[in-house]
């Protein structure tokens, strides 16, 4: 597991990631999505585990993401599928600090 830091301060991260917006970032060899609900930040794989739809067009509702294709819902903290039947979404541990957003991959 590797730790990456996005941005250089908490304020910069909050500016970089719009509220309920989804941003694709490349960290090492991985592309991952980052979003936030207030100051709660989440990182997750960019493709839906059901039929691989891009989650960049997903909708953030509270701490969940809704896939644009068949509207399956996933918990952004645990990755658990909340509606529909498919494997869980891969999520990554994050921590918002004064040095930026730490992401463990």
Q: How many residues bind ligand FES (CB under 6 A)?
A: 9
Contact status, residue 11 vs residue 71, Cβ threshold 8 Å = no
Q: How far is the CB of 67 from ligand FES (least distance, A)?
A: 3
**From 51, 57, 93, 99, residue interacting with ligand FES (rule: CB under 6 A):** 51
Closest CA to 41 of 66, 16, 68: 16
Joined together, the tokens standing for residue 1 give: 């597991």
**From 4, 42, 44, 72, residue interacting with ligand FES (rule: CB under 6 A):** 72
CA 13 to chain CA centroid, nearest Å: 14
Residue 44 in the binding site for ligand FES (CB under 6 A): no
Joined together, the tokens standing for residue 12 give: 């910069």
Residue 4 in the binding site for ligand FES (CB under 6 A): no
Residue 67 in the binding site for ligand FES (CB under 6 A): yes
Rounded to a whole number of angstroms, the distance between the first and last alpha carbons of the chain is 5
Query: Which spans of this chain sit near ligand FES (rule: CB under 6 A)?
Result: 48, 50-51, 53, 67, 69-70, 72, 84
């Amino acid at each position: 597991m590797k730790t990456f830091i996005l941005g250089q301060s908490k304020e910069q991260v909050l500016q970089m990631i719009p509220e309920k917006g989804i941003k694709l970032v490349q960290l090492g060899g991985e592309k991952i999505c980052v979003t936030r609900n207030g100051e709660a930040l989440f990182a997750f794989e960019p493709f839906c585990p059901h039929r691989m739809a891009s989650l960049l067009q997903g909708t953030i509702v509270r701490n969940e993401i809704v896939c644009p294709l068949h509207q399956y819902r996933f918990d952004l903290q645990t990755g658990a599928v909340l509606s529909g039947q498919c494997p869980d979404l891969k999520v990554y541990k994050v921590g918002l600090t004064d040095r930026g957003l730490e992401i463990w991959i």
